[in-house]
Structure 1
Amino acid sequence: MSLPPRGAGPQSGCLRTVLASGRRQEEIPLGVLLAGDRMGELDPEAAKDEHEDEETEPPKPRPRRRTARDKNSPRMSWDEALTKARSLTADWSYEHLDAERIRKAVGCSQDRSRQVEDVLRTEREEQALPDPDKEVGLACVRAYNDWMVEEWCGDSGGRPIPLCLIPPWDVTLAVAEIRRNAARGVRAVTFSEIPTYLGLPSIHSGYWDPFFAACEKTGTVVNMHIGSSSQMPAASPDAPPAVQAALSFNNAMASMAMDFLFSGVLVKFPRLKLAYSEGQMGWIPYALERADDVWEEHRAWGGVKNLIPEPPSTYYYRQIFCCFFRDKHGIEAIETVGVDNATFETDYPHVDSTWPHTKQVAADHVAGLPDDVTYKLLRGNAIRMLDLPFDGNTTASR
């Protein structure tokens, strides 16, 4: 990769820094909710016509006696139905996994049984897949990184910033890839916001410490995009996609404000830098307040008394960067969010992107802010975070 010389850089416009990559994984509803059993077929108007000539009140319909399955159906939660279905169908063949058989065996509603069928079939299909060839996987990771550094960013003069991958199944290989890319000027790597959702060890386990140590030593920023755990927050399993889109910032909140701040990772590696993409920032002031309150009030049983020596917010302001593209509440609270911790992004080319009105959106957000704060949000913080040799940054080491 041919990086720009120290002090060089774009002569006009703003630095466009890609803080995290990774394609959004669309969540497909587990099943299509169909109309449930109707409480009754009697049309009130028809009933009225039928009895309008009678002087006596028509007899009330006799309540239908409910079976054991009927009693369970409305009260059986999604987790209960799926757990029970997994147990009862363990020895069923794939062909026998149909909604009607599941409904009869589990005692759940027809709608629930269709959802359970979708999940069980998906699980069986995944189990039938061959074990991944990790040698091929590693070759793919390296090939992607080579393309990113040498072709996509190689002769750009430093405008796009390469963001490389690691082989997440082996921390030793991940460390080697960090060092290989750092040696050619790479300043950023992508990581999962919550690795356990991918079947990987958690950040609390110590497994990832060599990776974090390598990132700290090489000045490589650990970047996490919402959804990089292949799981997006949701409410009801049959909720429309808009629910996940509205709740997407929760991924960053769970990872940054709680998991990392209470993990001890930022204590062990005080020069490690984390960056969260597409997480916005308006929620950060309360999240930090809550984290500090828990640290103070629940230290006796919270498991962090000897792990986190200072209030968690200390480590946020020292080592974490957030990103925003539409967040007026975050701008109003920018002093608490941290004028040195926030960076503006565009989310191009996702549907949430501010393009083609990015400059106007940015101008609207920073209107009324001091010039030095505007510079930090739109350019300066990204330069400092990635240690780039732009705008006279004298700390750039490469």
Structure 2
Amino acid sequence: MKRITILGSTGSVGTQTLDVISHYPELYKIEALAGGRNIALLVEQIKQFKPGKVSVASKALADELKTYINADTEVFYGDEGLLEVAAGTNADYVVNALVGSQGLRPTLAAIEAGKDIGLANKETLVSAGHLVTNLVKRCGVKLFPIDSEHSAIFQCLNGEAHQDINQITLTASGGSFRDRTREQLEGVTVEQALQHPNWSMGPKITIDSATMVNKGLEVIEAHWLFQIAYSQIKVVIHPESIIHSFVEFADHSIIAQLGSPDMRIPIQYALTYPNRLKTPASRLDLTQVGQLNFRDMDYGRFPCLRMAYESGIAGGTAPTVYNAANEIAVQRFLSGAITFLEIEQIIEAALDQHSVIAEPDLDEIMATDAWARATALQYKG
């Protein structure tokens, strides 16, 4: 039986992970959950899966939670609570489904505690890829990608030699506004931006998909996960979201991974690797799909993706700034404080003002993250 901790259990990936686990109760035991602010849902999860430890965002929420559950479950809160559930249990596998750079410290703590990682929190590798990958090697743990694109690449590379890779291609749905020109993006609403055509995701990732920041973060994550140069990473728009990514090899053969746009498929594979089990996701019928379409990426239309490549190539703290500035920009857009197009302006302004630290330690990364957030918050346009 695999013992699991889930960070971000009440979010989109977290709830889908628990759905996968619920189909195989004989294979998995939930050791701990971190649920943020959604107390009602977390209470349901605790009653169903009976974790030994849980964490929430604040002391007030922790006190509230205790009134709904029995004393068999220990309750923690805040940043220290995340570290406790990540590293302080008998779990041998931690699923990091947190949103944003808050996932970095718990991931490092879990790795140091010898736990394998199922990573859906791409910001961890974006902000501190060199620290995470070096620690994974030093501690001898495994890092399994949960994002559908990286899971696809991971599967395509099974049994293949790294030196035979010519190019990996990440597919992008194009997001909510994929068929709009830049002129047509003027005045778009939050509600329109949250209408993703293919995937069911949380609000932050859905906005990132519309700006193509999500794909930019995936490019940087792919660089670290697969130890491949940015010049060998390509992005194409694939509106159907059926081919989740593909790899071209030295002989020009291409191997692709296909599946329904359902996050439970890559989640389950990360949990069961190297085995495959039946999944609650629906089967893919290509005769019903009919045809698959692909379009070259337009970096003028999607400047956030261009900035991701530039940040990744610059290295050091540049990706940290890219990610942190975007997190604040998305929050401001969701709250109605800025327009959709100002998201990219905030990211570019923060990057332009930043002096890159080439080999940052964790303290320098966290300081840079804080600086980028403050800069993005102060942006007036």
Q: Shared fold (TM-score greater than 0.5)?
A: no
Structure with larger Rg: 1
- TM-score of the superposed pair, with normalisation by structure 2: 0.26
- TM-score of the superposed pair, with normalisation by structure 1: 0.25
**Structure showing the higher strand proportion among its residues:** 2
